[in-house]
Amino acid sequence: MATTEYGIGLVTTDTGPLLLNHVRLAGLPFLVLDAEHTGLTPARCAEAVRALSMSDTRVCVRVPDGSPATLAEFVNTGAAEIVLPRVLCMADIEEAAAALRYAPEGLRSRAPSAANGYGESWEVPALSVIIETVDAVDAAAKIAASDLICRAWLGLADLRGDLARQRPDEPLDEIVDELLRTFADRDLVVPVARPEAAAEMYRRGARSCYLYWDKYLHRVLGEFRAPAVRG
């Protein structure tokens, strides 16, 4: 059974040195580089991985999709964990796992790269998945039991939209609580809008939470706007 370790990490598109240095100094448990829908390149992800290589922060990359070509690009960034979006079933996970593993267990080329120490290390990054579709919710028990993943992430906004489209009468909060129970031994990382909201998620059974840094920073800076002056 997994141990209980509470912690908050960040999801961001920012690979600048200032944020990375603050992440290192704060000793955050993880940083997810969001390359889905953002244009964040493998090269920039690799630079961030190198910048945090001597820190205690686990660097993860949320990839744009699960195609073998995309995974081949991002696996060579040296990230400790590849986060797979839009999972619908176990077949998606099995295909992604094969793309991350070296032959003969998988399809990954053994060509020398910085990620494998130019042929001196054949470690494979961990694979995790985002639960953000109704199909993934239906397959949650099988996903949680799979040895192919290290944990799961809750994509709350997209799951809310998919539920509204397919099953509008199902209460989202009850689904989240059931997912937390299902992934109790595997860990389901849940989103929070602000750091202090994590306490409630811990009470509901979560062990770790993520904050989308870009969105949070936008909201905080918005609070500095001067109020409109009426004439």
User: What is residue 56's DSSP assignment?
Assistant: S
Q: Out of 16-30, 40-54, 102-116, pick the least confident.
A: 102-116
Task: Check pLDDT > 60 for residue 5.
Answer: no
Calculate the alpha carbon distances from 129 to 18, 56, 150, 154, 187 in Å. Answer: 28, 22, 9, 9, 11
157, part of any domain: yes
Q: Is residue 217 part of a domain?
A: yes
pLDDT at 83 > cutoff 70: yes
CATH number for the domain spanning 108: value is 3.20.20.60
- The set of residues, in sequence order, having a beta carbon less than 8 Å from that of 81 and lying 6+ positions away, is 30, 58, 59, 60, 61, 125, 126, 127, 128, 150
Whole-Å CA distances, 84 to 131, 192, 228: 9, 20, 43
Structure tokens at 2: 């997994």
Question: Domain range holding 107?
Answer: 7-222
Domain count, the chain: 1
Does the pLDDT value for residue 40 go beyond 70?
Answer: yes
Which pLDDT band holds residue 4 (cuts at 50, 70, 90)? very low
Helices (H), the chain: 17-26, 42-51, 68-75, 90-100, 134-138, 140-145, 156-166, 172-182, 198-203, 213-222
What pLDDT, on the 0 to 100 scale, is given for residue 3?
Answer: 42
Give residue-wise pLDDT tens across range 204-215: 999 999 999 999
pLDDT at 116: 64
Residue 228 covered by a domain: no
Q: Per the domain annotation, does 53 fall within a domain? A: yes
Give the pLDDT confidence of 158-205 residue by residue, as tens digits.
999 999 999 999 999 999 999 999 999 989 999 999 999 999 999 999
Closest CA to 14 of 194, 191, 212: 212
Confirm whether 101 is domain-assigned.
yes
